[in-house]
Amino acid sequence: MKNLSGTITKEIDIKSTSGDITFANRMDHFMARLGVNRNGHLIAPGLYALGKPAKDSPVFASANYTLSFDALRSALSGIDAYILVLDTRGINVWCAAGKGTFGTDEIVRRIETVKLHDVVSHRILIVPQLGATGVSAQEVRARSGFKLEFGPVRASDLPEYLKTHQATEEMRRVRFTLLDRIVLIPVEMNYILIPMLIVSVILSLVGSYTAAAAAITVILSGVVLFPILLPWIPTTDFSTKGFIIGGLMALSFAMNAFYGMMSEALWLRSGWALTYMLTMPPVTAFLALNFTGSTTFTSVIGVKREIFTYVPKMAWMFGIGIILVIVLSLLKISGGM
Amino acid sequence: MFNSYDSNTLKYDPRLCINCGMCSKVCPHGVFNTSGKVAQLVNPKACMECGACQLNCPTKAIKVDSGVGCASAMIWAAVRGQKEATCGCGSSCDSKPEILQIGKKES
């Protein structure tokens, strides 16, 4: 890049980008959604030129997570603009803002590093609304001279937003649609798949295939069924929602145990049925509670209350259930049944 | 049925409000309405304690104990004996920044 006063001003490093999403980009997004190489979906922080921006072109801030950056540049396709990519260590805007990496300090530092004052003639930086959790507009202005404009929550609303620079109520609201919840399932599965397989293999070797099936059922109920059904399960607490889903699943196993071994004594059939009712629901409830971090609306104090209220109950239920399994198994062995 | 999300730590003092409109701009859940003379708390129960309004209120009229409403982050923090829970997605990248820092070349 040639600069008129080139001898004095250091060359400004501006990378170029486009609004096109290539096949390689799509593959990268797919892998990110699967949770493969979770922290590896990043691009270099710095200033990017989209199209052929001039001194008066708008500047947008983004995270250096490929899904964030690509959503922004594709939404801005056909618009000449600069994109200021912050170093959020490959984390999306909202999570990074919560951690403080998409924050006041990083914005001020990045503005200086890329010499934004020399690149554009205006002093306006458009920041995604969800970045506000980590960014103080007043402080950025005081320290860098740049006035922040909080754009819409979703990059896809930007073309509409840019017409008036006013976001509608709808653009300012975060959502958590069925599709939003479904795309999270592979990442949740990614964490639990191996433990689930190990547990079910052990259970089918030392216990029964039914026990292995019960383990797979509770885990899938917690990480697949629960996110899908979330808004439709009665009660507000995630744990109680999980208890409901897990309880319904356990019921079918309990019925199967109760009516499946009619030759056994009533107390033995009831005992085995009870083991399912005690061990299965708390597992689903715990997995459901762990989904709070993936949602867009749970408060800190609420989640804290849930942990204190339900986690001890889950542990007790599960513990008593396991003891009952052991006692019944010992009786079975000793009785030669 | 017990509702853990019935109340939260959001506190707002309308006497300090200068009606700049910032709170309603940054809130993702429409907790504030700024169409009147001062901002109104119209939907306090929807607050998720993200802290964006507190950070961007120029007169400090809003107070909230902000943080990440994530059970696994809190449980992990408790297990490890940490006081502050950091975002769950950090558990895997807590160790990674150093690696990135070393490999990073900045002008």
**Could you give the domains of chain A?**
14-174 (3.40.50.11600), 180-334 (no CATH)
- Residues A241, A230: contact at Cβ < 8 Å? yes
Subunit contact A39:B90, Cβ cutoff 8 A: no
Residue A258 parent element (H or E): helix A238-260
pLDDT for B59 equals 96
pLDDT for B1 equals 60
Question: What single-letter DSSP state applies at residue A8?
Answer: T
Tell whether the model's pLDDT for residue B104 goes beyond 70: no
Mean pLDDT in consecutive groups of 10 residues from the start of chain A, 337 residues: 46 89 95 90 96 96 96 96 96 93 97 96 97 97 97 96 95 95 92 93 90 95 96 95 97 93 87 96 96 92 94 97 94 72
Hey, is the C-beta of B9 within 8 angstroms of any chain A C-beta? yes
Residue A150 parent element (H or E): strand A147-150
> Tokens 């798949």 label which residue?
A193
Subunit contact B68:A289, Cβ cutoff 8 A: no
A138 Cβ contact list (under 8 Å, min separation 6): B56, B58
Q: Is A211 exposed, middle or buried (0-12, 13-18, 19+ CB in 10 A)?
A: buried
Q: Would you list the DSSP string of A286-327?
A: HHHHHGGGGSS---HHHHHHHHHHHHHHHHHHHHHHHHHHHH
Residue among A129, A297, A305 whose CB faces B26 most closely? A129
A310: left (phi over 0), alpha (psi -120 to 50) or beta: alpha
CA-nearest of B1, B5, B3 to B49 is: B5
Cα-to-chain-centroid distance, residue B102? 31
What tens digit of pLDDT does each residue of B34-60 get?
A: 999 999 999 999 999 999 999 999 999
pLDDT for B43 equals 94
pLDDT for B95 equals 34
Return residues 31-60 of B near A (CB < 8 Å): 46-52, 55-56, 58
Residue A219 parent element (H or E): helix A209-220
Tell whether the model's pLDDT for residue B90 goes beyond 50: no
What tens digit of pLDDT does each residue of B57-89 get?
A: 999 999 999 987 788 888 888 888 777 776 555
Q: With H, G, I as helix, E, B as strand and everything else as coil, classify residue A126.
A: strand
Q: Which residues of B touch A298 (CB under 8 A)?
A: 5, 48, 69-70
Alpha-carbon dihedral angle through residues A258, A260, A266, A272, given to the nearest 10 degrees = -50
- Compute the count of residue pairs across chains A and B with CB atoms less than 8 Å apart: 148
pLDDT for B89 equals 52
Residue to test with chain B: of A244, A289, A301, most B Cβ within 10 A: A301
pLDDT for B86 equals 67
Residue among B49, B92, B100 whose CB faces A301 most closely? B49
H helices present in A93-208, as ranges: 93-99, 104-113, 116-119, 137-144, 158-164, 169-172, 178-182, 185-206
Hey, is the C-beta of B22 within 8 angstroms of any chain A C-beta? yes
Residue B73 parent element (H or E): helix B71-80
Go through chain A and tell me how many residues it has: 337
Tell whether the model's pLDDT for residue B98 goes beyond 60: no
A222 Cβ contact list (under 8 Å, min separation 6): A242, A245, A246, A283, A284, A285, A286, A287, A288, A291
Q: What is the rounded distance in angstroms from the CA atom of residue A137 to the CA atom of residue A170? A: 22
pLDDT for A10 equals 57
Hey, is the C-beta of A289 within 8 angstroms of any chain B C-beta? yes
Q: Does domain B11-63 have CATH number 3.30.70.20?
A: yes
Indicate the domain borders of chain B: 11-63, 71-103
H helices present in A13-99, as ranges: 23-34, 66-75, 93-99
Hey, is the C-beta of B107 within 8 angstroms of any chain A C-beta? yes
Q: What is the rounded distance in angstroms from the CA atom of residue B97 to the CA atom of residue B107? A: 18
A153 → chain B, closest CA residue? B28
Sheet bearing A14-17, strands edge to edge? A14-17, A46-50, A81-86, A59-63, A124-127, A147-150
> Is the interface score ipTM higher than 0.85?
yes
Strand partners, B62: B12
Residue to test with chain A: of B3, B7, B49, B50, most A Cβ within 10 A: B50
pLDDT for A288 equals 96
Structure tokens at A5: 């006063």
* Max CA distance (Å), chain A: 95
Neighbours of B98 (CB within 10 A): 9
Structure tokens at A116: 């934004």
